Amino acid sequence: MKSQISRRDWFKSSAALTAGLTLTPALINNLFAGPVSKAERADRFEWGINPYSANGNVRLNANENPYGPSEKARKAIVDNMSEGNRYPFQALTDLKKMVAEKEGVDVDHIHMGAGSGEILCEAGVAFGLNNGEILSGFPTFTEMMDYAEVFNAKWDKVNVNDKFEFDYSAMASRINSKTKLIFICNPNNPTGTLVDPSIVSGFCEEVSKKVPVYSDEAYLEFLEPEMQKKVSNIEMVRQGKNVVVSRTFSKIYGLAGLRIGYIVAKPDLIKKISQYQMGIPISQHAIAAAKASLGDEDFMKLSRTKNAEARAHLEGYLKKKGYNFGKSHTNFMFYNAPIDGKTILSKMRQKNILMRIWDYKDKEWCRVSIGTLEEMKQFTAAFDEVVA
């Protein structure tokens, strides 16, 4: 925990000096909960805001699904209310069986958590302890590596290429004797880009002989079903390879607030990761909603279709205005910020629209989640005024 304390102390003094503000522990924790850019830090200090507060805002900052939970999930939660006094042992066992069947593996290949993020953290500890190194592309979803760093792990990053895609050959040549885990994300957050599945599977096939690969597939279901089959690394797990596949109910299923996700891996990897889970984190209601949602093709199709339509609106706008962006296959887009990020955040918020700013290669980048078509129209009109 030594590095955690020193990092926080360093942060406390440097940020307080810049912002001239009193930092409460809650505020510091909030700032450490994810990758926070300079613009976001400044913005939060200045306004003392919770960047995720609802308050009637158009929330395009957390890659949530505006259509969820599905009707089936809502009904399941209500029907399950009376089970709220019972621990969810049996319910979880039942759900694990359903997931195992869907993924074509035995139930000992499944581990579930309160969101896939919880399991990312467990894996970060499992492989990052004792100065372990975790290798990933960058920018990417950092929850695993951020958490692992608290336990003295080292995070080795390889920048994405100029199409904003993970550079798998550069990553392969970066592996060294200290590399304990490789984190990949396809399609990737925050860039939204998808790498050709043959490149990714070739990479996994080779490197997993030396180091386990953690394949985050949080946004897989935004691809058309045929493409999902090609892109997912689940077949490698079925073949007994050193690969962990991570999935969530937060995105296509629209259950982000209920907190439930899972990994699929060989039993030895499941054991190594799951030993760091704290207590019984998944609620009866999350399980009920997940059971009702799993494999709900109609709802997934609705989310996928509406998302693609709304994303096309944003993509058309970005193209017309000449922004630099990678092709998104997800429910968010990533592009260059045309004016300073802090101004974008605060002016957009004055128009009740929330979004993210990322730092990458000494530049600022916008990451905008895809809401409803109406929300995206509101977004492009507002953004146009703000950056004019």
Ligand X SMILES: Cc1ncc(COP(=O)(O)O)c(C=O)c1O
**Binding footprint of ligand X on the chain (CB under 6 A):** 63, 115-117, 141, 185, 189, 216, 218, 248, 250, 256, 261
Minimum distance between the CB of residue 114 and ligand X, rounded to whole angstroms?
8
Nearer to ligand X, 145 or 218 (CB): 218
Minimum distance between the CB of residue 37 and ligand X, rounded to whole angstroms?
16
Nearer to ligand X, 179 or 330 (CB): 330
Nearer to ligand X, 15 or 64 (CB): 64
Nearer to ligand X, 133 or 217 (CB): 217
Minimum distance between the CB of residue 199 and ligand X, rounded to whole angstroms?
19
Minimum distance between the CB of residue 290 and ligand X, rounded to whole angstroms?
11
Is residue 261 within 8 A of residue 249, CB to CB? The reply is yes
Minimum distance between the CB of residue 360 and ligand X, rounded to whole angstroms?
16
Minimum distance between the CB of residue 76 and ligand X, rounded to whole angstroms?
19
| C-alpha closest to that of 98 among 228, 300, 290, 269 | 290
Minimum distance between the CB of residue 120 and ligand X, rounded to whole angstroms?
6
Minimum distance between the CB of residue 248 and ligand X, rounded to whole angstroms?
3
Minimum distance between the CB of residue 240 and ligand X, rounded to whole angstroms?
24
Across 324-334, b (16+ Cβ under 10 Å) vs e yields ebbebbbbbbb
Minimum distance between the CB of residue 63 and ligand X, rounded to whole angstroms?
5
Nearer to ligand X, 145 or 310 (CB): 145
Nearer to ligand X, 203 or 249 (CB): 249
**What's the burial of 176, exposed, middle or buried (CB within 10 Å: 0-12/13-18/19+)?**
exposed
Nearer to ligand X, 45 or 117 (CB): 117
Three-state secondary structure readout of the chain? CHHHHHHHHHHHHHHHHHHCCCCCHHHHHHHHCCCCCHHHHHHHHHHCCCCCCCCCCEECCCCCCCCCCCHHHHHHHHHCHHHHHCCCHHHHHHHHHHHHHHHCCCHHHEEEECCHHHHHHHHHHHHHCCCCEEEEEECCCCHHHHHHHHCCCEEEEEECCCCCCCCHHHHHHHCCCCEEEEEEECCCCCCCCCCCHHHHHHHHHHHCCCCCEEEECCCHHHCCHHHHHHHCCHHHHHCCCCEEEEEECCCCCCCCCCCCEEEECCHHHHHHHHCCCCCCCCCHHHHHHHHHHCCCHHHHHHHHHHHHHHHHHHHHHHHHHCCCECCCCCCEEEEECCCCHHHHHHHHHHCCEECEEEEECCEEEEEEECCCHHHHHHHHHHHHHHHC
Nearer to ligand X, 43 or 143 (CB): 143
Nearer to ligand X, 258 or 270 (CB): 258
Nearer to ligand X, 30 or 346 (CB): 30
Count of all residues that appear for the chain in the document: 388
CA distance linking residue 51 with residue 34, whole number of Å: 12
